[in-house]
């Protein structure tokens, strides 16, 4: 009997449906056949070579050493190494940069890494038979939260570190590890983990590899176990001065890109040194225009980036010093006074500093006088930008022309014993107050220096914010976002 195309198509559709029904029947508890569910991964360890430089590397030697074990070896890079590297037989190349005509390279990592475990190996490492398996066994035998095993490369033992991620403050803080707790290591290391854990991370192969892995692991509460057995390192000729310069610059740019991806703007190292990745004098601030007195970072459950707080502190110190030198009477106002009384610092979610000044003293300060006379912004010798605010009769001092973090200067004048001003913005704390609060003004610690403040700060603040303002912190606009909603 002749089979028509229509009959053939119908038979194919029936066969496909029967196959799907079979897979569903053999599903949970049914011991699914390999064709019905993806494999869990074959036993063994795949070596990934990721941290290397195109211009000076030991890629061939490292790949050959581990391929001889034998284990699968995969060189991963954004683009093919250039100058081209003659990789040993059996060593494959995984290119990470997406190309328009091909699927995303990490959309299906199981196509590239078929083993249950993966080892991230630094360039210049030499293999030791059985050591990867010992690391794998240590991972699988260790209970609790251990997800990563580290082994040193070279003769220097690894130093175990604590790593605490303060997401709300945009900060990664390293310190000496307490017994039984290890979140990061200091020193060159081979890092082994389950393949499914690595590729479940949002940035599985970001560079520098150890930092990227430690931070993402710490965010998830993963533990790290260190074993003392070490991998040897290859003898390599000294790096040329030009090569060292290129490596250092590339390492810095990669670290900055990684910290941007991870949402970290400040690292506090175990020795107390700090690395900063946010805004500065030559860049824009870290957040855009503020709407409804609620910066975007508050909606994201975060507080003012530490680089922005640092810029505000520097600007406040600079402005108050200039005012004091000129004999301008000023005082901490609004939320800045609230932060000084509560914390001795800027409120950690605030985005500007407020100072009140006597209007009659404006002409004493050369920068304010120049702004008033010219009607345009004036940059001082240290790069701070003084200007008349567009919103009304007050002044603003920016951290720089590029970075618009600022101090607002509000000119008040006495009228019948009450301090008042020409511009009111409708904030709850924007009210008149008795001049007696300023007679005398008193010093108060604020943001790392001593500023002048009203003489009865509690009464002043409760007049402006209501009773209990000091003891009951709240975001600037609770109608949009409340402190307890994070």
Question: If pLDDT is split at 50, 70 and 90, which confidence band does 29 have?
Answer: very low
For 227-289, strand residue ranges (E) read 266-268, 274-276
Establish if 240 belongs to a structural domain.
no
Q: Are strands 395-398 and 385-388 parallel, antiparallel or unpaired?
A: antiparallel
Do 309 and 432 share a structural domain? Answer: yes
300 and 194 both lie in a single domain: no
* Distance between CA atoms of residues 221 and 208, nearest Å: 20
Q: How far apart are CA 57 and CA 114, in angstroms?
A: 26
CATH code (residue 450): 3.30.460
- Give the separation between CA 332 and CA 438, rounded to whole angstroms: 11
CATH assignment of the domain containing 193: 3.90.550.10
Provide the 3-class DSSP secondary structure of residue 137.
helix
Can you give the pLDDT at residue 36?
44
Q: Does a structural domain hold residue 221?
A: yes
Is the same domain home to 188 and 324?
no
Specify the DSSP class assigned to residue 233: B
For residue 264, give both structure tokens: 């970290």
What pLDDT digit, counting tens, does each position of 85-103 carry? 999 999 999 999 999 988 8
Same domain for 157 and 300?
no
pLDDT at 28: 39
Residue 344 falls inside a structural domain: yes
**How far apart (Å, rounded) are the C-alpha atoms in residues 103 and 45?**
25
Query: Could you tell me the pLDDT band of residue 25, with boundaries at 50, 70 and 90?
Result: very low
- Please name the residue that has the structure tokens 């030559």: 282
Phi-psi region of 369 (alpha: psi -120 to 50; beta: other; left: phi over 0): alpha
pLDDT for the residue 24: 46
Residues 201, 110 within the same domain: yes
180 and 307 together in one domain: no
Q: Point out the domain boundary residue: 202, 226, 250.
A: 226
User: In 10 A of CB 37, how many CB atoms?
Assistant: 12
**pLDDT above 60 (res 393):** yes
Report yes or no: 197 and 147 within 8 Å, Cβ to Cβ.
yes
Q: For residue 176, is pLDDT > 80?
A: yes
Three-class secondary structure assignment of 361-427: HHHHCHHHHHHHHHCCCEECCCCCEEEECCCCCCEEEECCCCCCCEEEEEEEEEECCEEECCCCCCC
Distance CA(265)–CA(250), nearest Å, equals 18
Give the pLDDT score at 290: 96
Structure tokens that stand for 401 in this block = 């022309």
**For the chain, how many structural domains are there in total?**
2
- The contacts of residue 401 (CB under 8 Å, 6+ apart) are 379, 383, 385
Answer whether residue 15 shows pLDDT above 90.
no
Give CA angle at 101 (98, 106), nearest 5°.
Answer: 35
Query: What pLDDT does residue 180 have?
Result: 75
- Average pLDDT for the chain: 92
Distance CA(319)–CA(78), nearest Å, equals 47
H or E stretch covering 445: strand 442-446
If asked whether residues 306 and 201 sit together in one domain, one would say no
- Which tokens in the block code for residue 409? 């200067």
Residue 236 resides in a domain: no
Strand-pair partners of 165? 172
Q: Do both 307 and 182 map to the same domain?
A: no
> Using an 8 Å Cβ cutoff, are 452 and 441 in contact?
yes
Q: What does the pLDDT read at residue 26?
A: 46
E strand or H helix at 64: helix 59-67
Phi, psi of 424 (to 5 degrees): -125, 130
**Short-list 95, 73, 72, CA closest to 82:** 95
**83 class by beta-carbon count within 10 Å (0-12 exposed, 13-18 middle, 19+ buried):** exposed
Sorted by sequence, the CB contacts under 8 Å of residue 88 that are 6+ apart come out as 60, 63, 64, 67, 73
Structural domain includes residue 241? no
DSSP H helices, 263-305, are 296-299
* Matching residue, tokens 């390293």: 174
Structure tokens belonging to residue 35: 């064709």
> What is the per-residue pLDDT for 33?
41
Q: Which tokens sit at 274?
A: 């700090």
pLDDT at residue 37, rounded to an integer = 43
Domain C-terminal end among 226, 248, 280:
226
Please tell me whether residues 440 and 303 are part of one structural domain.
yes
| Spatial separation of the C-alpha atoms in residues 382 and 377, rounded to whole Å | 14
Kindly report the number of other CB atoms within 10 A of residue 347's CB atom: 19
Enclosing H/E stretch for 185? strand 184-186
Domain end call among 182, 198, 226: 226
pLDDT at position 32 is 38
How do residues 344-377 score in pLDDT, each as one tens digit?
Answer: 999 999 999 999 999 999 999 999 999 999 999 9
**47 within a domain of the structure (yes/no):** yes
Residue 302 pLDDT grade (very low, low, confident, very high; cuts 50, 70, 90): very high
Answer whether residue 252 shows pLDDT above 80.
yes
Residue 94 CA from chain centroid, whole number: 27
**66 falls within a domain:** yes
CA distance 462 to 29: 66
Q: What pLDDT is stored for residue 212 in this prediction?
A: 98
What domain range includes position 357? 296-485
Considering only CA atoms, which of 285, 325, 105 is closest in space to residue 199?
Answer: 105
Strand pairing category for 442-446 and 223-226: unpaired
The one-character DSSP state at 350 is -
- Tell me which residue has tokens 């920016």: 398
Per-residue pLDDT tens over the stretch 111-165: 899 999 999 999 999 999 999 999 999 999 987 899 999 999 999 999 999 999 9
Over 70: is that where the pLDDT of 213 sits? yes
Domain membership of residue 245 (yes or no) is no
Please indicate, yes or no, whether residues 312 and 446 belong to a single structural domain of this protein: yes
> According to the model, what pLDDT value does residue 102 have?
86
């Amino acid at each position: 009997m002749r089979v028509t195309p229509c009959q053939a198509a119908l038979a194919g559709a029936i066969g496909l449906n029967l196959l799907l029904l079979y897979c569903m029947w053999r599903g949970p508890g049914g011991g699914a056949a390999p064709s019905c569910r993806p494999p869990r991964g074959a036993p063994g360890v795949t070596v990934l070579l990721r941290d290397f430089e195109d211009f000076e590397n030991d890629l061939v030697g490292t790949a050959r050493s581990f391929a001889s074990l034998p284990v699968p070896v995969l060189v991963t890079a954004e683009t093919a190494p250039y100058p081209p590297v003659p990789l040993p037989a059996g060593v494959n190349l995984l290119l990470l940069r997406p190309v328009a005509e091909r699927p995303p390279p990490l959309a299906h990592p199981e196509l590239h890494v078929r083993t249950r475990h993966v080892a991230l190996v630094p360039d210049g490492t030499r293999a030791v038979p059985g050591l990867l398996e010992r690391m794998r066994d240590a991972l699988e035998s260790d209970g609790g939260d251990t997800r990563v095993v580290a082994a040193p490369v070279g003769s220097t033992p690894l130093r175990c570190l604590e790593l605490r991620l303060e997401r709300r403050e945009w900060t990664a803080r390293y310190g000496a590890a307490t017994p039984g707790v290890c979140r990061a290591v200091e020193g060159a290391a081979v890092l082994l983990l389950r393949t499914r854990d690595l590729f479940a991370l949002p940035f599985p192969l970001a560079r520098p590899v150890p930092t990227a892995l430690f931070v993402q692991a710490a965010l998830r509460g993963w533990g790290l176990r260190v074993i003392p057995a070490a991998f040897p390192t290859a003898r390599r000729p000294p790096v040329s001065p030009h090569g060292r310069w290129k490596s250092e610059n590339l390492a810095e740019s990669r670290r900055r890109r990684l910290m941007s991806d991870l949402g970290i703007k400040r690292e506090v190292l175990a020795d107390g040194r700090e690395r900063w990745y946010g805004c500065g004098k030559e860049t824009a601030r870290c957040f855009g225009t503020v709407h409804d007195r609620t910066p975007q970072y508050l909606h994201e459950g975060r507080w003012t980036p530490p680089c922005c707080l640092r810029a505000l502190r520097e600007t406040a110190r600079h402005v108050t010093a200039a005012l004091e030198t000129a004999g301008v009477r000023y005082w901490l106002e609004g939320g800045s006074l609230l932060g000084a009384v509560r914390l001795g610092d800027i409120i950690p979610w605030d985005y500007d500093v407020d100072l009140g000044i006597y209007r009659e003293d404006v002409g004493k300060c050369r920068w304010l006088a120049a702004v008033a006379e010219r009607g345009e912004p004036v940059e001082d010798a240290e790069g701070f930008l003084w200007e008349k605010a567009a919103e009304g009769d007050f002044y603003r001092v920016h951290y720089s022309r590029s970075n618009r973090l600022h101090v607002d200067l509000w000119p008040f004048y006495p009228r019948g014993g009450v301090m008042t001003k020409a511009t009111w913005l409708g904030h709850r704390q924007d009210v008149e107050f008795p001049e007696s609060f300023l007679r005398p003004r008193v010093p108060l610690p604020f943001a790392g220096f001593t500023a002048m403040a009203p003489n009865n700060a509690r009464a002043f603040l409760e007049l402006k914010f209501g009773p209990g303002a000091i003891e009951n912190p709240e975001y600037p606009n609770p109608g949009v976002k409340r402190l307890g909603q994070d």
